Amino acid sequence: NQMEVQLEITRSAATWLGSRLTDLKSKLEQSEGELQTFLEKNNLVNLQGGQGSQGVQAVPAEELKELNKQLAEARGETTELSRRYGEQHPKLLEARDKQRAIELEYNAKLREIQEISRKEARMRQLQRNVEVNRYLYDTFLQRVNETAESGKWEAPSARIVDAGVAANVPAKPRK
C-alpha cells in the first residue's frame, strides 16, 4: 500500500511538473521573443559575454573625451580673445561661433551615449530574463525527466507481509 501511495504521489508530481514545464517553456519563448524584438527594433547585435558592449560604448566615449578637450581649448581661446579684443571683434566672434559649434556637437554626442546606455541597460535586463527563464525551464525539465524515470518503476504484485516459519509440531488434527 505504501508503495502504491508513493507511486501515485510520483505520478501526480510528474503531471504537475509537466504542466509547469509547459508554462515555463512559453515564458522562455516569450522572453526570447521580447529580446529579439528589442534588438531588431534598435538595430543592435547581441554579442554574448558582454565584451562587445564595452567596445560599442568605448568609441563614443573616446569621441566625447576628445570633444571635451576641444571645448576646453575653445573656451580658453575665447577667454583670451575677449581680454585682448573688444566684444565685436571678428576673431572673438569667430572663436565664440567655434565654441558654440563644439558645445552643440558635445551635447549631441552626450545624448547619443546616454541613449546607448539606456538601450544597453534594457538589453541586459531582457537578457537576464531570458537566462532566468532558461535556467528555470532546464531545472524543471530535469526534474520532469527524473520524476518520469522514477514513475516507471512498477510496484510488485505480491509482497511479503510476514516471514514464514516452519512448525515443529502439526497444528491439525487435534488429538
pLDDT tens digits, one per residue of 31-74: 888 888 888 887 776 555 444 444 455 667 788 888 889 889 98
Any residues with CB less than 8 A from the CB of 7 and at least 6 apart, and which?
Answer: 151, 153, 155
Cell match 509537466: residue? 18
pLDDT at residue 157, as a whole number: 57
pLDDT at residue 55, as a whole number: 45
pLDDT at residue 131, as a whole number: 92
pLDDT at residue 52, as a whole number: 43
pLDDT at residue 51, as a whole number: 41
**3-state SS track over 25-92:** HHHHHHHHHHHHHHHHHCCCCCCCCCHHHHHHHHHHHHHHHHHHHHHHHHHHHHHHHHHHCCCCCHHH
Which regions of the chain are under pLDDT 50? 49-55
The four Cα atoms 151, 157, 163, 169 give a dihedral, to 10 degrees, of 180
